[in-house]
A = this chain, B = another copy of it.
Amino acid sequence: MLTLHPLLAEGRSTRAFDPYAEVTSQELAVLLEAARWAPSSRNSQPWRFAVGRRGDDTHKRIFESLAPGNRRWAARAPLLLLGAHLTSDGDRPLPHAAYDLGQAVAHLVVQAGALGLIAHQMGGFDADALHSELNLPADVRATVVIALGRPGDPATLPDDLRRRDEATRERQPAARLLLT
């Protein structure tokens, strides 16, 4: 019986970060390296990242852009990354840029798992406000916030979030994925 590679099977998106543990600069560098070597349409590499480290201004701005539900737990993450993509490359549109960013972040998150880190991706943030707060260029689209850190004690989470983290993951049956 063939089984999923453990780094893909174990990708739980938990919220219980250790609020005292750090992610080292070397770890951050290899996370970004994983994104950097992802494939992309015509090798356009349209992904861009803003890196917030707990205590710095970017972490604070990213945190403040989060939806209230995400602000309940994400401050504990030592890293808050904004994942963004270019919308064009000079005159050339980049129709696959969001898809390419998805691949790059997937590689980053798989690498995080290989380092023993946990990652939680969020679409729930005010992209326009954060774009303005970080003074991002007009051709950059803020797409996802990724909380990264080390696993903490689930008992420190509010009860409802802990129950959500501990619930069995659910997906559609495999047959639903097939078009033909």
B-chain residues with CB within 8 Å of residue A4 when the two chains form the complex = 30, 33-34, 37, 111
Q: Does A103 contact B (CB under 8 A)?
A: yes
Copies assembled: 2
Interface centre among A4, A106, A178 (most CB of B within 10 A): A106
A75 and B81 CA atoms in complex are apart in Å by 41
Question: Contact check: which of B13, B34, B121 meets A8 at CB < 8 Å?
Answer: B34
Interface residues of A in 41-57 (CB under 8 A from B): 41-43, 45, 47-51
B-chain residues with CB within 8 Å of residue A29 when the two chains form the complex = 2, 174
B-chain residues with CB within 8 Å of residue A111 when the two chains form the complex = 4-5, 8
A62 and B38 CA atoms in complex are apart in Å by 24
Question: Contact check: which of B32, B48, B102, B179 meets A98 at CB < 8 Å?
Answer: B102
Complex contact A180–B51 (CB within 8 A): yes
A66 and B11 CA atoms in complex are apart in Å by 34
Interface centre among A27, A41, A114, A177 (most CB of B within 10 A): A177
B-chain residues with CB within 8 Å of residue A41 when the two chains form the complex = 123
Question: Contact check: which of B5, B136, B179 meets A34 at CB < 8 Å?
Answer: B5
**With A11-B39, A99-B99, A107-B106: A33-B174 Cβ-Cβ less than 8 Å:** yes
A34 and B114 CA atoms in complex are apart in Å by 16
B-chain residues with CB within 8 Å of residue A105 when the two chains form the complex = 99, 103
Question: Contact check: which of B30, B103, B134 meets A3 at CB < 8 Å?
Answer: B30
Complex contact A8–B177 (CB within 8 A): no
Complex contact B5–A49 (CB within 8 A): no
B-chain residues with CB within 8 Å of residue A11 when the two chains form the complex = 37-39
Besides A32-B178, A35-B177, 14 other A-B contacts (C-beta < 8 A): A5-B110, A5-B111, A5-B114, A11-B37, A11-B38, A13-B39, A36-B171, A39-B109, A42-B123, A48-B178, A96-B98, A98-B98, A98-B102, A99-B102
